[in-house]
Amino acid sequence: MSDTHPTVLPGFGLTLGFTTFFLSAMVLLPLAALVWLTASTPVAHILQVVASPRALASYRLSFGGALLAAGVNLVFGFIIAWTLVRYEFPGRGLVDALIDMPFALPTAVSGIALTTVFSQSGWLGHYLELAGVKVAYTWIGVILAMTLMGMPFAVRTMQPALNEVQRELEDAAETLGAGRWYVFRRVIVPTVLPALLTGFTLAFARALAEYGSVIFISGNLPLKTEITPLLIVIHLEEFDYRGAAALGFVMLAVSFSILLTLNLLQAWGRRRLVLRTS
């Protein structure tokens, strides 16, 4: 939009200026500092920190867990969003409001709450323990916390998209002879695919960045249930700023490339609206 076309908000030059300024001050500059700090560290020290067995194990848990949690949110977020959009039931407003709870709670509170419920003596943990499943202080607990924190992101991005799927699309497909599963696969999912990808991306990003709740439920056993953000904090507490920066740089690089891929996928999907399956 050029400034020759008048709009309600101030012109293009001004808004772009603000955009650049804020992005620089809040995002680019700190990130650049991180990169600069890493770059000015001796390579041997970087490798020692970044490639240590403890760090490698934390990457696996952080990135693997976040992907898994985002996957869980993709499926269950879709179901929750569908239920909220399509059905009228008593208490729908309450359920709708509950979705946002993880947004509002301090993450530490969520962590404590989860731990209380899922520890060996907790309400649910007690029975899971009897069934041989340990949640608290294992990787399952980590994923549980990540899923909880990412859930509202998944639901809230899918909801408006599902809202826009006209019921008539399903009716049309049905009169053309398609069964429910066929309609779901070939009509509904392709129509909301961009929103599904966005929801997945946001849930993944949130899970990766989650710290407060995870450290309560994970038990933080090195090599087992230690996430990368915690490892960074440990380095900081030991005044190893350069080590912490190096780990941060690795997280930054990997998450940036994953997010970029997802974003490109989305842009492509939006253009074509579907992966042509046949």
Partner 1 sequence: MSITLDQLTKRYQGVPVVNDVSLEIGDGEFFVLLGPSGSGKSTLLRAIAGLCGLDHGRIALHGRDVTHVSARRRGVGLVFQNYALFRHMTVAENIEFALRVRRARAAERRRRRQELLRLVALEGMDDRLPAQLSGGQQQRVAVARALAHKPEVLLLDEPFGALDAKIREGLRRTIREVQRELRITTILVTHDQEEAFAMADRIGVMNLGRLLETGRPTDLYTRPATRFVATFLGAANLLLARQTPDGIFCGDGQITARGASPGAAGREREVVAVVRPEEIEIARSREGLSSGYLGQATVAEVLCTGPIERVRVRLEAGPDTPLLAQPDRDGGTSLEATRAQFEQRALELASGDRVALGIRRVHLLPTPLSSFTICAKGEPAAAALARNPLLADLSSRMKTRIRTRLEPRLGDYAIDAASTASFLGTTVVGAGARVADEASWLLAHGAEEILVLPESAGVPHRVLIHWAGDAARRPTLAVSASVLRQIAAEAVYVDVMAQQSAAGERPLGIRSLLDARSEARTAHGLELRTELRYGEAAGELAQRLEQSPAQMLIIGLSHPQQLSARFGSLLASPRWPVLIVHRLQESSAQSRSAA
C-beta of 174: minimal distance to partner 1 in Å?
5
C-beta of 191: minimal distance to partner 1 in Å?
6
C-beta of 179: minimal distance to partner 1 in Å?
7
* Contacts with partner 1, residue ranges (CB under 8 A): 166, 168-169, 171-179, 182, 186-187, 190-191, 193, 272-274, 278
Please name the residue that has the structure tokens 């690089």: 253
C-beta of 265: minimal distance to partner 1 in Å?
15
Tally: H helices and E strands in the chain: 16, 0
Residue (93 or 177) nearer to partner 1, CB: 177
Residue (40 or 277) nearer to partner 1, CB: 277
Q: How far is the C-alpha of 63 from the C-alpha of 190, rounded, in Å?
A: 27
Structure tokens belonging to residue 260: 């970029």
Residue (66 or 192) nearer to partner 1, CB: 192
Residue (168 or 237) nearer to partner 1, CB: 168
Residue (174 or 240) nearer to partner 1, CB: 174
Residue 211 near residue 248, CB atoms below 8 Å: no
Phi–psi pair at 137, nearest 5 degrees:
65, 25
C-beta of 166: minimal distance to partner 1 in Å?
6
Which H or E run includes 267?
Answer: helix 241-272
Residue 214 near residue 112, CB atoms below 8 Å: no
Residue (109 or 172) nearer to partner 1, CB: 172
Residue (90 or 177) nearer to partner 1, CB: 177
Residue 162 near residue 81, CB atoms below 8 Å: yes
C-beta of 66: minimal distance to partner 1 in Å?
29
Which residue pairs, CB below 8 angstroms and at least 24 apart, start in 269-276? 269/193, 269/194, 269/197, 270/194, 273/190, 273/191, 273/193, 273/194, 274/190, 274/193, 275/190, 275/193
Q: How far is the C-alpha of 58 from the C-alpha of 221, rounded, in Å?
A: 10
Structure tokens belonging to residue 75: 């499926």
Residue 251 near residue 259, CB atoms below 8 Å: no
C-beta of 221: minimal distance to partner 1 in Å?
47
